Amino acid sequence: MSYVELPGANVPIRMWADPKTVEGAAMQQLRNVATLPWIKGLAVMPDVHFGKGATVGSVIAMRGAVCPAAVGVDIGCGMSAVRTSLTAADLPDDLSRLRSRIEQAIPVGRGMHEDPVEPGRFHGVAAGGWDDFWGRFDGVAEAVKFRQERAVKQMGTLGSGNHFVEVCLDLNDSVWLMLHSGSRNIGKELADHHIGVARDLPHNQGLVDRDLAVFIADTPQMAAYRNDLFWAQEYAKHNRKLMMELLKDVVRKEFKKARPDFEQEISCHHNYVSEERYDGMDLLVTRKGAIRAGSGDHGIIPGSMGTGSYIVKGLGNEASFNSASHGAGRRMSRNAAKKRFSTRDLEEQTRGVECRKDSGVVDEIPGAYKSIDKVIDQQTDLVEVVAKLKQVVCVKG
């Protein structure tokens, strides 16, 4: 489908979703964003739903301004995936051991490594540059510097919520590895700090929603946020890279006889800010629950833990600011899902997937999410499908 254009105060709202299916609170958030004085464009993805300040599934292009709450608290959250040389025939009938090995190698929830992961131990991972990366931590906000030891030990960990590690099969029975995570606690600490700073700035006092408080160009607050934002986005990218290497190690050990090889990794942020140029203007493009889908860009659009996911290639649609959805998107809140579904429902909806089926992950049940197939069908002018995947193992935080 192509987009539907709705009127907005300062810019039109371009929607790759049926407006009739978008909850009222989310529609109001979109209208609020369109009132911002600095906004130059707003694109809405088919997985759109209510979020803090700005909806999840929106692309906000502003000139000389950025809204930290629109980026969100999991700065740099995103996906990584890689196709392996393994096939379905290589997998054992019982996948519980494989799931257990993954959980042992990659800490989940609030867990961390006892000793920091050493990047140099992995073939193909650059050993250099890490001292420079950690050295730049000295330049982040003073309020979070006491978290450095934790940040070092959480590098290469999954986190909680909707973060996951999966083993999947495509339609040709090739085995894929996939994971979803971001900048862990340090990203949240940095985000919370800067969101608090922005709310108190004089130019934000008259906004229709204080959660839309922005930093503006050529101010010390903007310089400080940009520094910390881009560092946290880099942390998230490194975090996924190290997790993928830990996951590959597990697969090599578990399938020694098959001697698995791995193709080039696909990696993409879906909560982040990028400096891009449109219509002759340099803009700060915030993708909150959206991936970059420039012409030829490979991306990952996951579904829920019992449905499947898509590997896609961008078509470079500038009307969407070269963007596409980041997943299926929730159709109900976590609390609503816990009230609506039981562990029995979870067992039924994740049949055939080796995963947790306890009350602690009921809020992640497939029924709490929109149909990933429908979400893909709504953005055929944004991406083309490269592969459809179905998980057989899912490790949840």
Return mean pLDDT, the chain: 95
The helix-helix angle for 184-199 and 220-254 (nearest 10°) equals 160
Q: What is the pLDDT of residue 123?
A: 79
Indicate whether 372 belongs to any domain.
no
Number of domains in the chain: 1
352 labelled binding-site residue: no
Determine what percent of the chain is predicted with pLDDT higher than 90: 94
CATH number at residue 186: 3.90.1860.10
397 domain-assigned: no
162 is in an annotated binding site: yes
Q: Which two tokens stand for residue 322?
A: 């070269």
- Residue 274 within any structural domain of the chain: yes
**Which candidate, 160, 162, 173, 101, places its Cα nearest to that of 329?**
162
**CA–CA dist 193, 45 (Å, integer):** 28
Residue 127: pLDDT over 80: no
Q: Tell whether 171 is covered by a domain.
A: yes
Q: Whole-angstrom Cα distance, residue 203 to residue 216?
A: 9
Would 351 be classed as within a structural domain?
A: no
Please give the structure tokens belonging to residue 126: 């650059």
State pLDDT tens for residues 254-299: 999 999 999 999 999 999 999 999 999 999 999 999 999 999 999 9
58 marked as binding residue: no
pLDDT of 90 above 80? yes
Domain boundaries, position 161: 4-292+315-330
pLDDT at 105: 97
137 within some domain: yes
Band of residue 68 on the pLDDT scale cut at 50, 70, 90: very high
pLDDT at residue 171 is higher than 90: yes
> Which pLDDT does position 146 carry in this prediction?
93
Give tens-digit pLDDT for 296-305.
999 999 999 9
Specify the pLDDT at position 397: 80
Closest CA to 288 of 37, 62, 35, 18: 62
Residue position matching structure tokens 């309020």: 143
**Nearest CA among 138, 141, 137, 135 for reference residue 220:** 141
Q: What is the mean pLDDT of residues 158-187?
A: 97
Of the pLDDT bands very low, low, confident and very high (cuts 50, 70, 90), residue 169 is very high
Active-site residues: which are they? 326
10 Å Cβ neighbour count for 83?
22
Place 21 in a pLDDT band, splitting at 50, 70 and 90.
very high
- Whole-angstrom distance, CA of residue 61 vs CA of residue 285: 4
Q: Annotated binding residue at 113?
A: no
pLDDT at 1: 59
The answer to whether 302 is annotated as binding is yes
- Is residue 382 assigned to a domain? no
pLDDT at 128: 66
Q: What percent of the chain has pLDDT over 70?
A: 99
Write down the pLDDT at residue 125: 81
What integer is the mean pLDDT of 67-96?
97
* pLDDT tens profile 303-347: 999 899 999 999 999 999 999 999 999 999 999 999 999 999 999
In a domain, 109, yes or no: yes
Tokens describing residue 116: 């920091």
* pLDDT score for 121: 87
Hey, what are 221's tokens?
A: 């607050």
196-225: average pLDDT: 96
Please check if 328 is assigned to a binding site: yes
Contact residues for 337 (Cβ-Cβ < 8 A; gap 6+): 362, 363, 364, 365, 367, 368
> Rounded to an integer, what distance in angstroms lies between the CA atom of residue 237 and that of residue 78?
8
pLDDT the model gives residue 131: 85
